[in-house]
Chains A and B, each alone.
Chain A
Amino acid sequence: MSDALSVQDLSVAFHTRAGVVHALDRVSFTVGAGETLALVGESGSGKSVTAYAIMGLLEAAGQVTSGRALLGETDLLAASPASLARIRGKRVAMIFQNPRTALNPIRPVGTQIADVMRRHGGATWFNARARAIEALRAVGIPDPARRTRAYPFELSGGMCQRVMIAIAMAARPDLLIADEPTTGLDVTTQAVVMDLIAEMAAQTGMATILITHDLALAAERARRIAVMHAGHVVEVAETATLLARPMHPYSARLIAATPTAAGTLEELQSVPGALPDLRGAAIPACRYAARCDRRQADCGETLHPHEAEPGHSIACHHPLGVAA
């Protein structure tokens, strides 16, 4: 299976007044064509920064300091702003949390879809409206002809997220990055939106990167999961493998902190400690070490993510399930 996206050694630093923040450090993962990969981690672990870096949407303070992001043959991190603008929305699209504020408040939603279609050659001035209606129907919006003229504030959050998906799907991209797409939506709408994304992906053979802090959601929707912690990818494995045999202590903690249908509230455990300070140069090699109960003397030594078994890579000196 060929890769839709291959991210290699992506590092990002933010230049702030308080110093340089090393937000991402040698992040690597791949997404196969048509595959759903979940990026999971707590807030601040660098999931969204990874997505923005790939899309070239980092704010001015953020700088990619190393790495490649290969979309087919194209390195997105080395592409010029102009060529990147032609790729965004066309070959790789993105949807966001808070769909209502992520849409232009004073432009009819149909026009916003048509803007993207016209930009990427999917429609002309003459058929843009018809194409927008078609797109709204495809994402299951009732009465699409009338809804093209609606403004975001006239639609519910779930409807707005469908519009976002219609915008993202406008040019049939190879890859969709969904950044917390269901955060802020009610539970039934969450399921509908996720079903819709899966359906669209299945129809067009599109790969999906699902960014979420919700391991349960990732487990349900993704074929593979990459666990992120403090700007590192600490573990990548197939979903079933990761849930059954996590090898990184943080992944294990994360699984223990995720509610299940069978479990009780008392069984839930929080992950102790907080994310380390990522400013300056003196960041520990293993950024989880300070929170880890398996910490040993050599945890400060240089850490390389490696494949512990086929399709299961980790970044840990003393992984679980292996004799120490």
Chain B
Amino acid sequence: MRQVLLRLAAALPTLCGVVVVTFLLTRVLPGDTATYFAGPTASAEAIEQIRRELGLDLPLPEQFWRYVVALTKGDLGMSLTTGQPVRAEIATRLPASAELTLCALVLAIAIAMPLGVLAAVRQGSLIDHACRVLTTAGVSLPVFFTGLLLVYVFYFVLGWMPAPLGRLDAFATAPPQVSGFYLIDTLLAGDTGTFRAAAAQIVLPATTLALFALAPIARITRASMLAVLGSEFIRTARASGLSGPTVVITYALRNALLPVVTVLGMVFSFLLGANVLVEKVFAWPGIGSYAVEALIASDFAPVQGFVLTMAVLYVLLNLGIDLLNRAIDPRARHGA
């Protein structure tokens, strides 16, 4: 527990740095917020007035001070494009992105890890080659392409999947928010009909993302398994007559998991921010698309809020990875 608190405390300077840098970055970006919001026909006086109302005429240090003071109260500011508080929007959009990313990750792990293990155990076999083809295809096909392809085939041609119109179709109502994950909240509410609708909506975007996430996971699993299978303690396990599954799963895979877990963390954080294209294709109301729209509109507050949220997530994620590594590796527990 003390370790966890120490780690969190150590992350504070990083977060402070993130606050300063995102603030400065959004100010030096091209585009003038006041001009954008005043509209193309506004007069110079009108633009000036908006600038004053937004506090954009103040010197930078004072703007920064106001931002930090608001931040300490948990206020991330208002989005000028939507007129909603940034905090509320992120609170509804982050679970959407997280649910999509998690589903994709679980799907990717479920396919990639057994594939990587089999490829390593039967090196040079058909499954090893299949693994190589899949991983190469996974990284080289852009997600918007695989997304559109899946939509075309499974919605337009085959009609197996619902229209790619967000988290729920028009006829279903969102469940009362508990976790923000529709798949969980619908089950908590006992609404299996809506659960099925939400599940049907998430299949294609999650598959799209999973195809992309497959490659690094399968590769690192294979490489890590190969390294472990060649090590001396595996030879000992074989010499002791332990059965094949015990050697591969209990002895090899557990040891091979350490690098896999680290890569999983990277893949997760990467997907969470980078799934903006998938969100666009499937009209998914996530934070990636939110941040990009705000950035295009020179809408500072959502961009800052997004970056800060991601930074906090990264810190928590790394902490989680470290704890997981400690759970797997006694040497890590011992060292710290």
Contacts and interface: CB of A to CB of B under 8 A. Distances in A.
B70 to A, nearest CB: 47
B233 A102 contact: yes
Contacts of B237: 104, 115
Contact of A88 (B239, B329, B331): B239
B233 A104 contact: yes
Contacts, number: 83
Nearest to A103: B233
Nearest to B247: A85
Interface string B237-281: 111111110100011001100000000000000000000000000
Given A101-B233, A102-B236, A167-B236, A151 B241 contact: no
A154 B233 contact: no
Contacts of B244: 85
A98 B236 CA distance: 11
Interface stretch (A25-33, A63-71, A89-97, A304-312): A89-97
A172 to B, nearest CB: 13
B116 to A, nearest CB: 19
B334 A102 contact: no
B243 A85 contact: yes
A295 interface: no
Nearest to B330: A151
Interface string A151-183: 101100000000010011010000000000000
Nearest to B244: A85
A120 interface: yes
A237 B40 CA distance: 103
A31 to B, nearest CB: 17
A105 interface: yes
A98 B231 CA distance: 12
A106 B329 contact: yes
Contacts of A98: 232
Contacts of B233: 101-105
A93 B331 contact: no
A89 B239 contact: yes
A173 to B, nearest CB: 10
Nearest to B258: A106
Contacts of B242: 85, 89, 115-116, 119
B231 A101 contact: yes
B331 A119 contact: no
A154 B246 contact: no
B235 interface: yes
Contact of A104 (B238, B255, B328, B331): B255
Given A104-B251, A106-B328, A106-B331, A116 B232 contact: no
A105 B331 contact: yes
A104 B237 CA distance: 8
Contacts of B246: 115, 119
B232 A102 contact: yes
A90 B243 CA distance: 12
Contacts of B238: 57, 85, 88
A206 interface: no
A294 interface: no
A223 interface: no
A119 B241 contact: yes
A215 to B, nearest CB: 25
Interface in B311-336: 328-331, 334
Nearest to A84: B241
A86 B241 contact: yes
A86 B255 CA distance: 24
A245 interface: no
A190 B110 CA distance: 48
B250 to A, nearest CB: 8
A116 B241 contact: yes
A15 interface: no
A87 interface: yes
20 contacts: A57-B235, A85-B238, A85-B242, A85-B244, A88-B238, A89-B239, A94-B239, A98-B232, A102-B233, A104-B236, A105-B255, A105-B331, A107-B254, A115-B237, A119-B242, A120-B241, A153-B330, A167-B236, A167-B240, A168-B240
- 8 closest Cβ pairs, A-B complex: A89-B241, A88-B241, A89-B240, A94-B239, A116-B240, A104-B233, A151-B330, A102-B232
Interface of A: 55, 57, 85-90, 93-94, 96, 98, 101-107, 115-116, 119-120, 151, 153-154, 164, 167-168, 170
